[in-house]
C-alpha cells in the first residue's frame, strides 16, 4: 500500500491591518490631518499639554463659550464647551487656529475645511504639504500612532504679531484658521508667481487673552479655582469683545 502525503494548500490567515490610535499628550504641538473631520476640534488632554508648550513662548489661548455637537464613529454625540483661539506658527508664519474644545481623547484635528482654507496640497510620497495661502512647503511630522500632522509651534523669530489676539474677532463664519491680514494676500500673490517668502513680523506677544486661567481651571476640573479666577478682573473674559451666538459673532469692537 502506498501512502500519499496530503498536498492540499491551506489558505493562510487573512492579514490584519493595524490601526493605531493617537495618544493625545504625545500629539501636543501638532495638528493631525483628518480630512474626514468636519470641524476643527481638540480634546481636553491635548489642549492642556499644548498650553504648556505655548507658555514657553509666552503665549496663551483665548476662548469663547460654545455649544456644538460632534460624533465620533458609532459613539453618541458629544458637545463642545468652548471655542479656543490657539496661536500657531507654521514655518515662521503666524496664524490663529479656531478649535472646539471637547471632553474626548483626541488630538488637535485639521479637517478638510481648515486644510482648504490654507490651500493645502498633500504630497504623500514625499510626506510633505504645500500651503499655498502662506506660500510654504512643510515636511509633515508623524505621531507615535503613525498619523501625519503639521507642526504648529514654529513661530516667527520675532514672535507673534501684537495684533494676533484680535484677528479671529473679525473672521467670517466657518473660518477655522485666521492668517495675518497684512501678509496673507501678499504671500498668496508671491506663491502664485513662484517667489520665495520673506518673513517680517512685529514683536513677541507675551500677554494674550483674558480668561485663560479660568479655562485652565475649568478643563482640569477645578471648579473652585475657576470661581476664584472669575472674580479677578484681569482674568475675566472681556465682555466688550464679540461673542459667538447662533453661529455668528456679535458685539462691537
Residue pair 117/177 in contact (Cβ under 8 Å)? The answer is yes
What contacts 107, CB < 8 A, 6 or more positions away? 22, 24, 27, 30, 31, 32, 42, 43, 46, 143, 147, 149
Cell of 5: 502525503
| 245 beta partners | 248
Residue-wise pLDDT tens for the chain (253 aa)?
Answer: 444 444 444 444 455 434 445 555 678 999 999 998 889 999 999 999 999 999 999 999 999 999 888 888 777 788 899 999 999 999 999 999 999 999 988 899 999 999 999 999 999 999 999 999 999 999 999 988 889 999 999 999 999 988 888 888 777 788 999 998 877 556 556 656 665 444 333 333 333 333 333 333 334 444 443 444 344 333 334 444 444 444 444 443 3
What contacts 44, CB < 8 A, 6 or more positions away? 101, 102, 103, 104, 219
Cell of 98: 479656531
> pTM higher than 0.95 for the full model?
no
What ranges do the domains of the chain cover? 24-192, 210-240
- Write down the CATH number for the domain with range 24-192: 2.40.70
Residue pair 209/165 in contact (Cβ under 8 Å)? The answer is yes
Amino acid at each position: 500500500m502506498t501512502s500519499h502525503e496530503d498536498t492540499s494548500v491551506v489558505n493562510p490567515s487573512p492579514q490584519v491591518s493595524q490601526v493605531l490610535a493617537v495618544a493625545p499628550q504625545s500629539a501636543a504641538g501638532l495638528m493631525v490631518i483628518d480630512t474626514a473631520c468636519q470641524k476643527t476640534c481638540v480634546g481636553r488632554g491635548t489642549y492642556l499639554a499644548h498650553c504648556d508648550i505655548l507658555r514657553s513662548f509666552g503665549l496663551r489661548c483665548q476662548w469663547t463659550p460654545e455649544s456644538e455637537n460632534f460624533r465620533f464613529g458609532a459613539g453618541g454625540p458629544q458637545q463642545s464647551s468652548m471655542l479656543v483661539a490657539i496661536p500657531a506658527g507654521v514655518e515662521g508664519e503666524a496664524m490663529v487656529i479656531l478649535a472646539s474644545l471637547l471632553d474626548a481623547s483626541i488630538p488637535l484635528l485639521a479637517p478638510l475645511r481648515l486644510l482648504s482654507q490654507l490651500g493645502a496640497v498633500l504630497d504623500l510620497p514625499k510626506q510633505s504639504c504645500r500651503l499655498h495661502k502662506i506660500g510654504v512647503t512643510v515636511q509633515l511630522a508623524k505621531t507615535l500612532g503613525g498619523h501625519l500632522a503639521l507642526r504648529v509651534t514654529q513661530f516667527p523669530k520675532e514672535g507673534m504679531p501684537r495684533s494676533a489676539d484680535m484677528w479671529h474677532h473679525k473672521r467670517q463664519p466657518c473660518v477655522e484658521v485666521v492668517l495675518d491680514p497684512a501678509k496673507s494676500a501678499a504671500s498668496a500673490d508671491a506663491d502664485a508667481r513662484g517667489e520665495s517668502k520673506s518673513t517680517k513680523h512685529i514683536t513677541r506677544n507675551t500677554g494674550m487673552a483674558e480668561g485663560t486661567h479660568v479655562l485652565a481651571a475649568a478643563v482640569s476640573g477645578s471648579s473652585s479655582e475657576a470661581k476664584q479666577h472669575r472674580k479677578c478682573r484681569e482674568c475675566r473674559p472681556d465682555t466688550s469683545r464679540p461673542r459667538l451666538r447662533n453661529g455668528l459673532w456679535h458685539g462691537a469692537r
